Structure 1
Amino acid sequence: MSKHHQTAKELLQALGGSSNIANYTHCMTRLRVTPVDHNRIDEASIKQVKGVVGVVNDDTYQIILGPGVVTKVAEQFGIVLQEDSAAPSSEDLTSKGTDMKSELKKKNNTPFKNFLRKVGSIFIPLIPAFVGAGLIAGIASILANSITAGDLDKDTWQQYVTILNVIKNAIFSYLVIYVGINAAKEFGATPALGGVIGGITLLTGVTEEFPIMNIFTDQPLTAGQGGVIGVLIAVWLLSFLEKFLRRFIPDAIDIIVTPTIALLIVGLLTIFFIMPFAGLISSNLIGGIDWTLERGGVFAGFVLGVAFLPLVMLGLHQVLIPIHIEMINTAGMTILLPILAMSGAGQVGATLALWVRCRKNKSLVTIIKGALPVGILGIGEPLIYGVILPLGRPFITACIGGGIGGAVIGMFGNVGSIAIGPSGLALIPLIAHGLWLKYIIGLLAGYAGGFICTYLFGIPKEAITEGSNNKEVPEAKTKTEVAATGEKKEMNDTTLGSAFNLPFDGYIVPLEEVPDAVFSSKMMGDGFAIEPTNNTLVSPINGEVVSIFPTKHAIGLKTDQGLELLIHVGLETVNLNGKGFTCLIKEGEKVKQGTPLLKIDLNYIKQSAKSLVTPIIFTNLSEHNQIQLLKTGYNEQGITNIIELVSKKQ
């Protein structure tokens, strides 16, 4: 069994099995899965699978694996899906997935964002073709320029240029057909009909002698007018018309009547209305971007360079592909892509600064060594999820570095790419009109900006040395050691004793029994849980309130001895947006054992949330210590000797 097959198998199991997979695809770095039920995904287990860099839990569940690896894992993922004899049919999965999606109410699941994701999903399968054909186009361009300059013999080399262009044109000349097929899949239309609608925009058979006139301007339509924007609009309408027709057309004649009527109606709409309309949108959109970059210059470049990295983090950067394509169709290049590519330069610079400043942190350096080479070549997700995003501040300084690089490209102006491909050094062969030196200067500026900003302002103290990212509490000491040093006994003794009181009346349960993998796997830390029976949460310790979540469902405390704990009232209560909770204290306030912290509406939370079970997590224990639960079952608020701090058995 190959390691990629094993990875795919472990991922499928953590995703809830084949019965929970409605669909899947992959891009250059991510395995994108459409789950039937998000609640069946064990995210903690996914993050523990070897090779997983990070995850994005969205309408599609995205598992970041990195370039090269994701293609092999995706291939094996399809195999393990087929191997699972319990897998239901694709029709059943699609139907069940549709039902579940209609019930799923995710915080960031707005119609606009869903539309953006659909548009992105249309182009994701085409990215390998864009990259390969784009680089081939770059080689052909270099050869053609060399022939023009007289450096190469035309009779010998022109045929090779022609051959390379034939390969390149196989994707770019017929791109609207590929887009039509993929759009039909996403919008729920027949893929073949979507391809035909895309092909209509090529106006095959139209000649100068027999043109089709634009009914609004009385000028001849041009092949490709409206581009992929027009195709997306047309196929979207096709999906509605197909579904409408199938409500009334008998099954016996559906295969004949439905496609004929759908193609005729949408085809006519495409030629006479959508192509002129989309052409107007396209020209104004491209003109607006050109105007902004021309007038905005340095400022526009900085803003775009700063803003792009968050889009990559959310997986929404693919929605810009139609804009790049239209710019290439209109002007022969996209001047937007080189500016956005500077965000990758910023994070490379930030990562180099982390490597220099945190060289004693061996585990971080190991991650950097693996992720940095592909980051330099323009694949940024491994750096984002493996290095800068988990550390927080470096992500911000990386964005600033990207803005600096974008400002430099904006200052030069007219630096464009002839095709879509990875950013970083890999984009150099695609830079138009031989302006690759200006692009390289922008990259160097992005590297320098990210490095300097991170080196000076973006290094978290906890990342500098190995293991310091956990603010550890002293290891458990014996009573003799405590007496000899004169330290307070509460947190250093092997038992917490009276230093910790039960904050609720209720039923105590081990953390492993909490019906939420984030807590039961102890990913956030060790502790226990209680199902409360009264409506007032009181402080279990003497110390300080260090954080109150905006939704009031969770409170962070710190004892006088430095032990930090999180009280998370109920499961999935963040979705209540604060309803059912009344906060009685403020951040930074000193508290004593028994100080009221929170009033809760037990009945409302019980009815509206997943569970009332309240995890109490100690978030900064030493790796050598663990919490041992001394009592379970029903206990009253304020009792002591519930838990003890013990050394882990070696």
Structure 2
Amino acid sequence: MAEEKIARIAREIYENVGGTQNVKKLIHCMTRVRMTIIDDSKVNLAGLKAIDGVMGVVEDETLQVVIGPGTVNKVAQAMVDTVGVRLGEAFPNAEGQSIDDLMAKTKSEAKEKYNKPSKFKAVLNTISKIFVPLIPAFVGAGLIGGLASVLGNLVTAGTLDAATWTQFITVLKIIQSGIFSYLAIYVGINSAQEFGATPALGGVIGAVSLLTGMNPELPLKNIFNGSALSAGQGGIIGVIFAVWLLSILEKQLRIFIPDSIDIIVTPTIGLLVIWFAEIFAIMPIAGVISSSLVGAINFILQVGGGVSGFVLGVLFLPMVMFGLHQILTPIHLEMIAKTGSTQLLPILAMAGAGQVGAAIALWLRLRKDKEFVELVKGALPVGILGIGEPLIYGITLPLGRPFITACIGGGIGGAIIGSLGQAGAIAIGPSGLALLPLIANGKWWVYLLGLLGAYVGGFIATYLFGIPKDAKEKADNYGKSVQMETLQPTLRVVTTPEFSSSVISSPLDGNVKELSSIEDEVFSSGMLGKGVAIEPTNGEIVSPVNGVVSTVFPTKHAIGLTSDEGLEILIHIGMDTVALNGEGFESFVKQNDRVRKGDLLVRADFEKIKAAGLSTITPVVITNSDTYREIIITHGATISKGQEIFTVKA
């Protein structure tokens, strides 16, 4: 019923302002929907005021429809959803079209807009959605795995005693393998959720790629060249593609399979068909590509020097994505057997170092995007230790361009090692700093120079050429439209005790004025309830009651409280201060916090507010005034925080 009410109010507002085609854009603040109207003559003010749920209307530079805290955010969101734009974005104008035609057109335009510049970007976005939920596990298990690698390499190098450390290292590796060894299963589940397939079946498809039921003595054959298939052949990308096929097949099967047998028939057919495609097409094709690359890699190694180092450093991460890196294992082992070390591994390790440099550049260029920065902070330490999945799948690949510039950084590091030469690893191990103890013949400094070169190369390439325009715009505007964010309603049950009267104290120091004396009609007319206006003398705003913080507006310029007696109080700091986007306000509480009378809620810089040409007058309103028999207000005096300002009689 609540959703029906929101949809009704949104629809009726449009009906009374001349339709969506008469609105340029729409935002909301703590109490009202603000619309920029194209033709004022088409607005039916009487009709707007008559809408059930609308508390009043204010005509200003924008048309302001007062709905009240807690509901306004939902109505505003419903209104922009109707035309397929976001809060604050320009509405498409379609004078003369019907509402239905306009909606269809704008939704189509929005869809087309978000798909630009290409479908490739949509693919990257899908990959991001699949891997972002795995990032916490990547980071935790990655750090543990990095520690295990460092300790293991020190044991291999003879620095640590094997008898003392081996069991501890084994336990750490078991924890690490919980996600990295079975990553295909997690990816299969998440891919199924993204594509609309059954998650459990997606997990099975991922597990199929691991070939866990195959007898090593009787392996499955590549139908193209007869070679044995190996676990993971086809890579994570192959799993995603197979699950995508599963989602299509499931949807088609459910068109004609009766519901009574759907749970039996659909998963059985789905798994059989996709298993066939995965085992006899996806994995073999990857195997053919792998076999072809062996010759190419051998040729590159023969060329030698910085050229081979650059090419291998650039290409290694794309090979990992497609599961093609496994072809390199026998090459590593052959090199170690013949020369005592593999000079290929240190070069390939540069690919991960390029990702580290790219991530640091992204951190600096997009530092205003706090959410993105938190992702980078979590992924960087793991990447430095040689676990690259969080950086690849959570940071660079979803953005597209940074993945390429990171690969270039890896190529630069590879070129450095290839040019200096003689930096080999005595065993197959991780990349990153963790590989240092395994570098043979005291050539660790060559490997370290390569790492630094890859860091710097990935950083410079990304900083100059790898920042996507939309990501930069998002970061530069992070928080600037915060006043348009949707507020989540407080979900709680308030038990209102019986009381004869309740006292509310002043939340700030200042001079008390009548609410009717301020210029904002929404407050002065009493639309939102009875209250007072305070001209503040200092910037500390405290709680006037014992109760709960019901709402903190994102810009911190307004706060809602519900007292233990059920009184709903709105404190609006200054007039039109939503335009400051939070500048000059410091909040000390958040939604649902328990507060006592006198607790500090917000500290406001009133000098900054005045410098912006805005009024500091602060309305304090009881928004559910109609619930109570009488509200006695103290007028016309100087008041201090904590002194009585209202007496409410129930």
| TM-score under structure 1 length normalisation | 0.41
The structure number with the bigger radius of gyration is: 2
TM-score (norm 2): 0.41
